[in-house]
């Protein structure tokens, strides 16, 4: 019975809330772990009380699970019981009232301006070099997430205004801007992009960034490109695609940009999410 209720909950998240496959997998992993715990004690979901959930959390923490992972599992359990209360008439949510573990928020890792310049100097003038330069320039100039940039089509860009329409988290649209270096890199890339698509007979392709075969460049493929270019630039540390976004925000604030303008460009719903970049700037100042 417990497993049937779990499947019903997951179908709701997938078909009604339209969560991604990755989110569904995360819910499944978290909740199957809890079901295994209560099965050992012969309990059904409607028999669980707060103390049983607390014992599950304590057991996971004692086994070495991080506070972040523990909080995520507790959050998944709250969502399951909210569904059961709303849809099946359960009397209460035993996960409500349980406090999440406190987390220390690490400051975002950013590239220094000279490191960014070093990374953006991609050698060569072939398709791959021009595409990779445009990709990294646009990431840094717009502050987009790698997944957002991978979904951009030609119709979303206004080259004259140096503006781009982006669909972010929660299906919220926003307008981002890019400067002259990114514009020049994009112009150079578009010439070789169009020539390659013509050669491949795929001129109907609307994706901005494409792979060698003319298909849309995926977020994973873009991340692989960045990893390759970081190694080629011989930077002394690993660089993730998200560090372009962190660097974008930090460098803007360090150079006097208004924090609310940066919030809009990042697509943050809350200003508190953007304020963390002010702490990065203070840390940099202290180091200097």
- Catalytic residue chosen out of the listed positions 11, 169, 202, 228: 169
Known catalytic residue: 268? Answer: yes
- Which residues, 6+ apart, have CB-to-CB distance to 153 below 8 Å? 206, 207, 208
- Catalytic residue chosen out of the listed positions 78, 131, 245, 251: 245
Tokens 């502050």 correspond to 143
Known catalytic residue: 245? Answer: yes
Distance CA 28, CA 179 (A): 43
Known catalytic residue: 169? Answer: yes
- Catalytic residue chosen out of the listed positions 37, 60, 145, 196: 145
- Catalytic residue chosen out of the listed positions 37, 78, 229, 268: 268
Known catalytic residue: 277? Answer: yes
Active-site residues, by number, are: 145, 169, 242, 245, 268, 277
């Amino acid at each position: 019975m417990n497993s049937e209720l779990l499947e019903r909950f997951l179908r709701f998240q997938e078909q009604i809330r339209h969560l991604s496959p990755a989110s569904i997998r995360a819910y499944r992993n978290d909740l199957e772990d809890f079901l295994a715990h209560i099965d050992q004690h012969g309990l059904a979901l409607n028999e669980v009380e707060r103390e049983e959930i607390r014992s599950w959390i304590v057991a996971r923490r004692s086994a070495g699970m991080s506070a972040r992972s523990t909080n995520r599992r507790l959050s998944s359990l709250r969502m399951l019981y909210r569904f059961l209360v709303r849809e099946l008439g359960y009397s209460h949510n035993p996960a409500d009232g349980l406090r999440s573990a406190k987390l220390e928020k690490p400051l975002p890792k950013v590239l220094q301006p000279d490191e960014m310049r070093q990374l953006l100097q991609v050698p060569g003038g072939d398709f791959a070099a021009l595409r990779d330069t445009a990709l990294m320039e646009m990431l840094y100039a717009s502050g987009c997430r790698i997944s957002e940039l991978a979904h951009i089509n030609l119709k979303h860009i206004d080259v004259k205004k140096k503006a781009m329409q982006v669909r972010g988290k929660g299906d919220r649209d926003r307008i981002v801007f890019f400067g002259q270096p990114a514009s020049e890199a994009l112009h150079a890339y578009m010439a070789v992009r169009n020539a390659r698509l013509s050669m491949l007979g795929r001129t109907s392709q609307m994706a901005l960034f494409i792979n060698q075969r003319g298909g849309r460049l995926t977020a994973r493929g873009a991340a692989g490109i960045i990893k390759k270019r970081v190694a080629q630039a011989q930077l002394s540390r690993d660089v993730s695609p998200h560090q372009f976004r962190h660097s974008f925000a930090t460098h803007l604030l360090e150079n006097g940009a208004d924090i609310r303008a940066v919030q809009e460009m990042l697509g943050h719903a809350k200003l508190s999410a953007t304020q963390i970049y002010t702490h990065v700037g203070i840390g940099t100042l202290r180091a200097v």
